[in-house]
Structure 1
Amino acid sequence: MSEANQHEHHADIAKRLKRAEGHLRSVVQMIETGRPCLDIAQQLHAVEKAIGQAKKTLIQDHLDHCLEETVGSLGRDQRRAIDEFKEITKYL
Structure 2
Amino acid sequence: MQDKTHLHQSHGEIIKRLKRVDGHLGHVIAMLEEGHRCVDIAQQLHAVEKGICQAKRTLIQDHLDHCLEEATKARAQGASVSLEEFKEITKYL
Partner of 1:37: 38
Q: Secondary structure at the match of 1:35?
A: coil
Identity of aligned residues (%): 61
Paired positions, count: 78
Alignment partner of 1:52 is 2:53: yes
Alignment of 1:1-92 (within 5 A): 1-72=2-73, 92=93
Secondary structure of the structure 1 residue equivalent to 2:5: helix
Q: Which runs of 5+ in 1 are unaligned?
A: 75-88
SS at match of 1:8: coil
Structure 1: distance between partners of 2:4 and 2:44: 35
Counterpart of 2:40, as a letter, is D
RMSD, matched Cα: 2.1
Query: What's the CA shift string for 1:42-83, capped at 9, x where partnerless?
Result: 000000000000000000111111111001289xxxxxxxxx
Report SS of the residue matched to 1:4: coil
The structure in which a higher percent of residues are helix is 1
TM-score, length-normalised on structure 2?
Answer: 0.75
